[in-house]
Structures are given as C-alpha cells and as structure tokens.
Amino acid sequence: MASSSSARRPGSASGLYTISRPAPSSSSTPRRPAQPKRKKPRTVWNSTDTKSEWDELVAVSSLSTSAPSTRKPRLRGLPSLAKCAADAAARGFKRLWEDEAEPSAGASTTATAPLRGGRDGAEASGSDDLKTELKGRGGSWSVLWEGTPDHLKEPVRDSVFRWWGSYLTIQVLRTFENPPHLRLPGDILPAIASVQQLKPLVPPSDTAESFTSLTLTHAAKAPDVAIAGLIHFLPNLEVINLKGCTLAGKRVVEIIVKRCRRLRRINLKGTAIGEDDLRSLLDEFGQQLEGLKVDNVRFHSSPDKAFASGPFPKITHLCLPGDIINAPSQDFRERAKRFGQIIAHPLPRAAPADALLDWPNFSHLFPALTHLYLPDLLIPTNTTISVPPQQLVKLSLGPGGPPVPLEVITELIESQTSSLRSVHLGHLMTESMTHVGPKWLNLGVALGRCRSLVDFRHQGDPKGSKDARCDNGMADYSMYLYEEGMSGPWQRTLKRLTISTPCKIDPYHFVPEEWISLDLQPALEELNLPSMGFRGMDGNELFAQTIAERYRNLRSLDLSGSSVTDEDVFTILDGCPLISHIDLTSCRGVRVQNRRNIFKFRVGENGAEDRRPGVVT
C-alpha cells in the first residue's frame, strides 16, 4: 500500500494514474555543454545599485556624462488644426514612406481632398489614375504630398528633416523639392553632409526656373564642380547659402556670376573662395546685394581691390573676417616666449593711411548696415567703427577670439542704444593699467540703455584668451555687462541670455530693482550659464529661489558644469513649469540617475506622487 500510494498521481483519488518516467538510455542525445554567461558591462546608465555604489561607479567611470533632459515643449497658445496635421504627418513620415500598399482611387481622393484646404473632391479625382499607379516605397507619401497645400509643405518638410534626417536618402529628398526654396541642410541631413554627386538633386527642367532660393549647407564632401553644376540649372536664384561647403570655390563663383543675374543675398562662410572671387562677386552684384557673408578670406596685401566697386548702398547684413582691415602681426609667438606666455595671440597692425576700407570710412562703404558680424575681430585701441547712428540691429563679435578693446565696443554701442536687439561679445579687455573696473562699468551702462535688447551673449573660450590681462579682467569685472540691464531695463524685452565667463554670478544681479513692478513677468525664455559658479556660501540655493520666483516664462536652461544640486534643480522646475530643456552635464551635485531624466524625478504638476529617490509620500 505504501508503494501504491506513493505512485498515485497528485490530486487523484485512486491509484489508477501513475507517473511514468523514461529510463535513462545511453542512446539519448547528449546535452550540449553549458555556455558561459556573458557579463553585461556595467555603466553609469544601466546600474541599479544604491547611491553609494553609484558614486563609486561615477568616480571610476571614464564615460561621457552629457546629460540634457528634455520633454515635450509647452504650447504657447492653442495650436491650429493645420499645425497639428503638419506635425502628425512629419511624425508618421517613415511609416507612410515604407507603406508598400497600392493606394486605391477612393482612398486617394478622400485623403487628398481635406489637405487641399477644402477643394472639391471632383477636382482631385482627375489625377486618380496617376495616383493609383504609385506602388512600393514612397507611394502613399507621394499621394498625400501631392495634395498638401503649398503653404503647408515647408513646415512639413522642415519637421521631417528634423525628425528623420538620418533616414532620408538622396532619392527621398527629391520628393521635397518644392519651389521656390530648395533646402538641403547638411547639419541635420547626413546624406547631404557626405554627398559627392549632386546631379540627382537637380530639379526637373519644367520647375528649375521657379526656384529662387538655394540652401546647401555643410556639404563638406561636395566638390566645387558639383555645386557649380547644381547652380547652373537654377538661373533665377536670388538667395544662395553655401555655408560649410568647404570645397566650394572659384568654379562656383564663376557660375554664379554667369548665371544668377538676380542675386541679392549670398553666404559663403566656411568655403574656399579667395580674394579674386570676392572681387568678382562685388564687381558684378555690389550695387544690388543686400546680404554678404564671408570669412577666412586671405588678402595678398590690402582688401581695397576687392571693395573698389563700392559704396554698396543696399547691403544690410554683412559678415567679414575680423582681421580684414588690421592684419595680424607675425611676431606674436616670439612675444609669447619673451613674456613667458602671458600674451600668445596676434596683435593688430595699423591700416594704411590711404586705405579705402577702413573703420572710420565703414559707414561710407555700407550706409544701410543693420546686421554686422565680425568674428575674431582684431582692432587697435582708440579706433572708431563708423556705423550710421541708431541703425544697427545686431552686433556679433564672439564667441572667444582675440581680446577686443573695451573702449572701441563702448563707443559703438553708445551710438546704437535705440536700435540694438542682439549683442554677442567675446573676449574683452582694456590696455589701461588703472581704472580697469570703471571701463567695464561704462560698457555695462551703455548696454543697460539698450531698451530693445532681446538676445545678449558674452562667451569666452573655456581654455582662456591667451592673455593674462584679459582673463583677469573678465574674471573680476565681466558681471558689470549684464548687472545694469538685468536690474531693470532688460526685464521687459530680453528673451535669451548666455554668460560663459570665469566670473562668478551673484544671484542678486537677477533681482530687479524696487521700481520694477512685482506683477511684471520677465520675458526671459532661455538662460545659459555653462560652467558657472555662484558667489556666497548659499549661492546655489539663492540662485534657484530667484529663478523660480521671478522667471516663470523660462523654457530652456543650461547649467552644465555648475555646482547646483538636485534640490536646486527641483526648486527651479517647481517655479518654472514651462521649462522643456535643461542641461545638467557634469553637474557633480546632481545624481547621475537624474541628469538625463530630471523631469521624471520631480513632483508631478497634477498631484502625482514624488518620484525622487529616497522621498516618502
């Protein structure tokens, strides 16, 4: 009975059912040897250890901790139906493009009629036979794209480029050729950045003459002849942007001069054009050009020959090499050795007395100037940059570059306080050995009088300016440049502020004066303070409280490399609900888990539980 009961099936009332086990056989297939388990390398992003082990892991890790946290941007208002449709089409582009189903005639008519802005369906049915022939990849998208109104094609195209740039091939890009703009930005389209043959991008002959604008940027591998060939088939171009096309040079300029008789704006920054090419452009189009942007152009002796066809009465947007007038000295390396590396940047040489292109004559050559870009400006002290008063809208000298005399910039800005809306500055210093602080303060007062300023940036090189006097001055006095404006005059207009200097920030500089109404919400939307320190023992906490209480319209925040902590960031996010992008790269006071996902570890806005580690709710 014992043996019988032991053989009963579990749960059975009788012993009718028994468990049969196959006897081991020597002929059975041998088991495969167990494979050794592969250990997944532990990183700071996949570890689930405790805080102490996290800290140890970070200390020994050599991984990059680039950690911007993002979330869907908050709406500025009620979006239109057209915008929602454009966003949906862009997000679903890949699925529509890879849809190999043959679209039916009825579906084509139904899908395209609403996109045509309410056109009669019968009008669209005339091309149904053509649409039903579209098969394979891109068929569904081509049907919908054909029915999209022209005023919606540009926003849809730009969104598709932004979402699916790495997916788009040259053949796919041809779908988006929509007159009058041919846009091929290589910075977000890898296919353009590496393209060498541009012939597949040439528009059909029946539409080529309809294009008036070409944007082909950062196509570093596109040969000079290939770019020239593309421009050859676009004779009515008025705007040409070839920024970053490093191989574009003499042949491109020859085709532009020969074919593009309506040219008004041209951007050749980062190209290989020379002095003779620039002279050809100005001789041919100088009297009709409205925008000219060049850099890295080397002149044999003097730039006067290139600008001999001046003045240029219509140029409003101008970018020139910073050393175009005052060529750099050649002995700066010897001086660096002599002075013990205190100075290691070139000094400006004086321009000839009879020079045609000179700073005092600048307003004569360019009387309509509104936007002036002078990257890496090299200019002597006690020099006046002549620009028509109260006309300049944007002034850009930075970031970095050789130190620019404070007196020169102060004089220029004082004459443009009513019109300036954007100022970008780099390294600044004064030759004076005494009264250094007042020189900086004078520039700050001039900037504070710019009541229409929307964008202010002061950015130095993280490695320094190669001039000890400049570095010391910026570390001690650069806060004067924004202190006057942030205390009141900029509160109503400034939307973007970028400070990247060795000077620590005093949180009280962001507190407006008493005469500013407490009901006024500052317009600031973007604040960038990379590698910035804060004055005082509780500087981090005071800064976070100030931002949270005053700047509720903030949408983007860069605190990378700063000393803020988790609690400081949570304080800012609680007070600034519109923030959708925050960069916490290399913030040692913020946990590694939180740097990329800071929005997931804060209190929910609708009463959700606190998901911060270690917080009990």
Q: DSSP characters for 168-195? A: --HHHHGGG-BTTEEEEETTT-HHHHT-
pLDDT at position 354 = 86
Cα gap 595→598, rounded to integer Å: 6
E strands present in 15-168: 68-70
Q: Is residue 557 part of a domain?
A: yes
> Among 165, 180, 196, which residue terminates a domain?
165
pLDDT at position 366 = 96
Cα gap 192→176, rounded to integer Å: 14
pLDDT at position 224 = 95
Q: What is the mean predicted confidence (pLDDT) over 450-457?
A: 96
Q: What is the mean predicted confidence (pLDDT) over 226-237?
A: 96
Cα gap 279→356, rounded to integer Å: 14
> Among 135, 165, 195, which residue terminates a domain?
165
Quickly list H helices, 240-319.
250-259, 275-285
Q: Is residue 527 part of a domain?
A: yes
Token representation of residue 321 = 């090499």
Taking the CA atoms of 583, 588, 589 and 594 in sequence, report the sign of the dihedral they define.
positive
Confidence of residue 282 (pLDDT cuts 50, 70, 90): very high
pLDDT at position 231 = 97
Taking the CA atoms of 533, 539, 540 and 545 in sequence, report the sign of the dihedral they define.
negative
pLDDT at position 265 = 98
pLDDT at 58 over 80: no
Residue type, 602: R
Confidence of residue 300 (pLDDT cuts 50, 70, 90): confident
Q: Among 241, 227, 240, 172, which Cα is nearest to 199's? A: 227
Of residues 245 and 145, more confidence is placed in 245
User: Full-prediction pTM beyond 0.75?
Assistant: yes
> Beta strand 496-500 with 455-459: parallel, antiparallel or unpaired?
parallel
Q: Is residue 547 part of a domain?
A: yes
pLDDT at position 580 = 94
The neighbour count for residue 9, using CB atoms within 10 Å, is 12
pLDDT at 17 over 90: no
Q: Which of 10-19, 94-103, 214-223, 227-236 has the lowest mean pLDDT?
A: 10-19
Q: Is residue 516 part of a domain?
A: yes
pLDDT at position 333 = 55
Asked if 44 contacts 592 with a C-beta cutoff of 8 angstroms, the reply is yes
Q: Is residue 315 part of a domain?
A: no
Most confident of 107-116, 386-395, 505-514: 386-395
Cα gap 84→105, rounded to integer Å: 26
> Among 108, 130, 165, which residue terminates a domain?
165
Backbone angles phi, psi at 119, to 5 degrees: -65, 160
Q: Is residue 190 part of a domain?
A: no
CA dihedral 505, 508, 511, 515 (to 10 degrees): -130
pLDDT at 132 over 70: no
Q: Is residue 118 part of a domain?
A: yes
Asked if 314 contacts 282 with a C-beta cutoff of 8 angstroms, the reply is no
Cα gap 564→553, rounded to integer Å: 20
pLDDT at position 52 = 53
Cα gap 346→327, rounded to integer Å: 9
What DSSP string runs through 317-382? EEE--TTSSSPBPS-HHHHHHHTTTSB-SPPBPPPPTT-SS-GGGHHHH-TT--EEE-TT----SS
What Cα–Cα distance (Å) separates residue 11 from each residue in 7, 14, 28, 530?
12, 9, 32, 71
Task: Count CA atoms within 13 Å of residue 134 on its CB side.
Answer: 23
Q: What is the mean predicted confidence (pLDDT) over 309-330?
A: 91
Cα gap 259→211, rounded to integer Å: 13
Taking the CA atoms of 171, 173, 178 and 179 in sequence, report the sign of the dihedral they define.
negative
Q: Is residue 58 part of a domain?
A: no
Confidence of residue 324 (pLDDT cuts 50, 70, 90): very high
CA dihedral 361, 366, 370, 375 (to 10 degrees): -70
Contacts of 463 (CB under 8 A, 6+ apart): none
The count of domains in the chain is 2
Q: What mean pLDDT, rounded, does the chain reach?
A: 82
Cα gap 541→245, rounded to integer Å: 46
Q: What is the mean predicted confidence (pLDDT) over 323-331?
A: 82
Token representation of residue 56 = 């140890």
Cα gap 369→396, rounded to integer Å: 13
Contacts of 361 (CB under 8 A, 6+ apart): 386
Most confident of 306-315, 463-472, 592-601: 306-315
Most confident of 185-199, 257-271, 463-477, 527-541: 257-271
Cα gap 164→241, rounded to integer Å: 22
The tens digit of pLDDT for each residue in 526-576 reads 999 998 888 877 888 999 999 999 899 999 999 998 889 999 999 999 999
- The CA-CA-CA angle for residues 283, 351, 422, to 5°, reads 75
The tens digit of pLDDT for each residue in 491-533 reads 899 999 999 999 988 888 887 765 555 567 889 999 999 988 8
Cα gap 616→597, rounded to integer Å: 19
What is the domain range of residue 549?
504-617
Core vs surface per residue 512-538: b (16+ CB within 10 A) or e: beeebeeeeebebbbbbbbbbebbeee
Taking the CA atoms of 344, 345, 346 and 347 in sequence, report the sign of the dihedral they define.
negative
